[in-house]
Structure 1
Amino acid sequence: MARVILEPREDRAVFVLPLTIRPEHIDENGHVNNVVYVGWLQEVGTAHWAANFETDQRAPWSWVALRHEIDYFRPIRPDAAGVRAVTWVGDPQGPRFKRYVRIEDGEGNLCAQGVTDWCLVDATTLRPHRIPPEMLAPFEH
């Protein structure tokens, strides 16, 4: 079955994070190991959150990843330059929402894409908390 290519929704703000290929990212096949992509999903989500909210606004909250799904399309080589993660969020569902990520090479080719189910939790109790409407505004156009 063909995989659906993720494209940002027009009503969502897109965040872009440059990625650096490090020697420890390269596996025995000579390209970025699949485990690194999971780290990148986490990294771009955290950076997007930090870019939109001040430290004091983030302090009461934390995000917990409930599920990652990644599709791989083309390998990223050790000497790749211009690699980037492009991310946006879906619609909130109580304390959860999906974050979509595209990993692209320097020419804009899709190398991988991922979807993570995130859950907002109270940073003190770690109990799920409904996503407040005001928390979504920075992620929308």
Structure 2
Amino acid sequence: MARATLTPREDREVFVLPLEVLPEHIDANGHVNNVVYVGWLQDAGTAHWNARFSEEDRAKWSWVATRHEIDYLRGIEPGATGVVARTWVGEPHGPRFNRYVRIENAEGKVCAQGVTEWVLVDAATLRPQRIPPSMLTVFEATSAD
């Protein structure tokens, strides 16, 4: 059964992270290994967070992944270039945010897509913290997007 392609929310910023396909990413089937995609989901979320929040904010808050779900739609071949991750966040629920990621090839075809549930924690205590409304505004789309 084919899954519907994830579509970014119009009210959220879509952050784009270029991805490099390295020789060690290729498995015995001749395409990027599934484990690499999990790392790319995490890399996309971390890069978005690091790009939008100050060093002070990043020292105060941290994120813990509690769940990953990935749909593999088409393989990425060795030596592929122009591969990107597009990511955006969903609606906050207390300390939880779902982050959506699409991995696309150079032609813009979705090769994999996934959702990770992240929990905001106090960086010192690692205790969950409710996502402040001010944090959500950073992830909102702007009129220039």
Which band: TM-score by shorter chain?
Answer: over 0.9
CA contact (8 A) 2:22 2:79 kept: no
Q: Deviations over 1:62-89 (max 9, x none)?
A: 1000000000000000121100000000
Query: Are residue 4 (structure 1) and residue 7 (structure 2) matched?
Result: no
Matched, 1:129 2:129: yes
Q: Percent identity?
A: 72
SS at 1:5's partner residue?
coil
Cα distance in 2 for residues equivalent to 1:69 and 1:5: 14
* TM-score normalised per structure 2: 0.95
Stretches of structure 1 that go unaligned for 5 or more consecutive residues are none
> Is the counterpart of residue 101 in structure 1 residue 101 in structure 2?
yes
Distance 2:106 2:137 in 1: 30
> Does 2:23 match 1:23?
yes
How far apart, CA to CA, are the structure 2 residues paired with 1:114 and 1:55? 27
- The alpha-carbon deviation at position 3 of structure 1 amounts to 1.0
Partner residue of 1:72? Answer: 72
Mapped partners of 2:9, 2:124: distance in 1: 33
Residue 118 of structure 1 corresponds to 118
Residues 11, 140 of structure 2: 8 Å contact kept: yes
Supply the RMSD in Å over aligned alpha carbons. 0.7
> How far apart are 1:2 and its partner, in Å?
3.1
Residue 92 of structure 1: CA displacement?
Answer: 0.3
In structure 2, the residue matched to 1:82 is 82
CA distance in structure 2 between the partners assigned to 1:121 and 1:54 by the alignment: 16
Distance 1:52 1:122 in 2: 18
Distance 1:129 1:33 in 2: 34
TM-score by length of 1: 0.98
How many matched pairs? 141
Classify the secondary structure of the residue corresponding to 1:59. Answer: helix
Matched, 1:49 2:49: yes
The CA deviation at 1:14 is 0.4
